[in-house]
Amino acid sequence: MSPVTLGPAYDGSMRALLVVDVQPTFCEGGALGVEGGNAVAEGIAAFAARHREQYGLVVTTQDWHIDPGAHFSEAPDFVDTWPPHGVAGTAEAELHPALASLSPDASVKKGQYAAAYSGYEGTSDDGRNLAHILAEAGITSVDVVGIAESHCVKETALDSRREQLPTRVVSDLTVPVSPDQGAAARAAMAEAGVTYVTAAEAFPAD
């Protein structure tokens, strides 16, 4: 991969935008479609286009299942087992068409042979994990957006805090599987020190 060109820091930190699992498989009409997923994809595309220069790095994550074992089930419980989704090489597993102009600096794929919720469980095509990518670029804080708030967004945000990174979730650029699961996820993230901002609040000087 060619060297990353870092944009100017907005607030004295080098901030990354983590775009989590914005794939057709998790949007309306997909195998595990979440209500509001397509609107979130469109919103992320507009937000990233407006604020691209305020991020030192933009990284996408994707579910990219090859043979994830018990993660897939013909009788899923929708807690630990799920119907097939994000199958590697299918159109549903690609990035959402709304992100066609995103031009991320790095991309990681996760869950090839086991369940994987956090983007930190993924690797790039050249074998680097997300923590390595962020550290290599000198990232000191992250914003997390994507699908679903109650699952992969939550786990990615929690792992960002475990990496000692100040972490924000952009509240109107994510959506949970259900309201109850969303509330539980927000409580878990708040306890870990994740903060919430709206897209309008993210860069208030604009």
Q: Which of 63, 105, 110, 159 is catalytic?
A: 110
Total number of residues shown for the chain: 206
Calculate the CA 174 to chain-centre distance. 9
Please confirm, yes or no, whether 21 is among the known catalytic residues.
yes
Q: Which residues contact 12 (CB under 8 A, 6 or more apart)?
A: none
Calculate the CA 31 to chain-centre distance. 18
Q: Which of 27, 109, 143, 152 is catalytic?
A: 152
Calculate the CA 165 to chain-centre distance. 15
The 10 Å Cβ neighbour count of residue 75 is 6
Residue 90 Rama label (left phi>0; alpha psi -120 to 50; beta):
beta
Please confirm, yes or no, whether 159 is among the known catalytic residues.
no
Q: Which residues contact 104 (CB under 8 A, 6 or more apart)?
A: 19, 58, 59, 60
Catalytic machinery residues: 21, 110, 152
